[in-house]
Amino acid sequence: MATTGCSKWAIAVHGGAGVDPNLPLERQGGGNAPPPCLAAGIAALQSGEPAVDAVELVVREMESDPFFNAGRGSVLTRNGTVEMEASIMDGNGRLCGAVSGVSTVKNPISLARLVMERSPHSYLAFQGAEEFARQQGVEIMDESYFITEANVSMLKLAKQANSILYDYKVPDTFGVSAVLMNGLPIAIYAPETVGCTAVDKYGRCAAATSTGGLMNKINGRIGDSPLIGSGTYACRDCAVSCTGEGEAIIRATLARDVAALMEYKGMGLKEAVDCAIKEKLDKGFAGLIAVSAKGEVAYGFNTSGMFRACADEDGFMEVAIWE
Ligand code: ASP
């Protein structure tokens, strides 16, 4: 594998923009304790593993946690089914893989990686992605494994409100503020998409994003998360993973824009992230995490919050939700 010389490792993870105000305190992290998913990524990078392995590992952990809208716990389509999507990009060589419309694959992010490494293509969807998963021998689960009771209840409420749940929008925007769950408007109650970006000690950047999409979405809807350049991007300079209103992120090609601002305008990572969030999203609501090949981490969002955690080789660590 070609490398870009020695660097400092860094990692950033998000658990979605928007944020459930009822998030149990123990899930909010804080203090010096990294959430388990971040700890796994840190350990991988400390032991010299490539960034692409670290981001896959972290996202796999989050896909197995029903709290997040990815893998187990994915939100439901209008028909009550799951249609999961994921993408991964290795900036070292600009390799990428993506999947959409998978409903039985335990870890969609690992299937995306297999598309990247073992197929002649970059993106497989629906039946073709499921067939490829079986050919590759990945872990397959019954569809019931992914569907949680909380999501079934939330789908009912979403249907009553005739709303797709944009968890990152203020409820009134969708006219669903009267629909409450535990006293909270359901539009801010939805579980969250996950993503991870990392740079390893050789300066190789990678990004991974995984989601069930939006609650009550039309079957067949594809969001930003599997789209390289929109929800996920990595190159020689940086790696980016986005979350939020997929349609707005797609219009802004948000992840690629951060890289392009660095590449063509010579901006630093933080400046590029701020510019992309403030100037490229139009009226959309979204957030993103990013790392640079120099070992910097940055994030930005224009939602009420974004679950995020980051760490770097110098001992910096942050676990945060709100601004
Ligand atoms: N961006 C995801 C989508 O639109 C949702 C999210 O990030 O919460 O599918």
| Three-state secondary structure call for residue 289 | strand
pLDDT at 1: 38
pLDDT at 190: 57
CA dist., res. 14 & res. 232, Å (int) = 12
Q: Do strands 184-185 and 317-322 pair parallel, antiparallel, or not at all (unpaired)?
A: unpaired
pLDDT at 206: 98
Provide the 10 A C-beta neighbour count for residue 110: 25
Q: Please state the atom number of ligand 1 nearest to the C-alpha of residue 247.
A: 4
User: Nearest 5 degrees, angle CA 13-CA 87-CA 134?
Assistant: 125
Work out the average pLDDT over 291-315: 92
pLDDT at 30: 43
CA dist., res. 11 & res. 312, Å (int) = 6
CA dist., res. 86 & res. 99, Å (int) = 5
Instruction: Report all structural domains of the chain as residue ranges with CATH numbers, in order of start.
Output: 10-320 (3.60.20.30)
How big is the chain by its Cα radius of gyration, in Å? 18
**Average pLDDT over the chain, rounded to whole?**
87
At residue 252, does pLDDT exceed 60?
A: yes
Burial grade of 271 (CB within 10 A; 0-12, 13-18, 19 or more): middle
At residue 10, does pLDDT exceed 60?
A: yes
CA dist., res. 292 & res. 129, Å (int) = 31
Tell me, using a 6 A CB cutoff, whether residue 74 lines ligand 1. Answer: no
Tell me, using a 6 A CB cutoff, whether residue 16 lines ligand 1. Answer: yes
Tell me, using a 6 A CB cutoff, whether residue 246 lines ligand 1. Answer: yes
CA dist., res. 231 & res. 177, Å (int) = 28
CA dist., res. 203 & res. 160, Å (int) = 49
Tell me, using a 6 A CB cutoff, whether residue 295 lines ligand 1. Answer: no
CA dist., res. 75 & res. 103, Å (int) = 11
Q: Please state the atom number of ligand 1 nearest to the C-alpha of residue 243.
A: 7
* Most informative mutation of 242, 245, 250, 254 for ligand 1 (most atoms within 8 A of CB): 245
Q: Quick one: pLDDT band at residue 132, thresholds 50, 70, 90?
A: very high
What is the per-residue pLDDT across 164-213, written as a single tens digit (0 to 9) for each? 764 444 344 444 343 444 444 444 445 689 999 999 999 999 999 999 99
Q: Quick one: pLDDT band at residue 40, thresholds 50, 70, 90?
A: very high
What is the per-residue pLDDT across 92-114, written as a single tens digit (0 to 9) for each? 999 999 999 999 999 999 999 99
At residue 154, does pLDDT exceed 90?
A: no
pTM of the model: 0.91
Tell me, using a 6 A CB cutoff, whether residue 73 lines ligand 1. Answer: no
Amino acid code (one letter) for 275 = C
pLDDT at 18: 66
Cα–ligand 1 centroid distance for 212 (angstroms): 8
Q: Quick one: pLDDT band at residue 162, thresholds 50, 70, 90?
A: confident
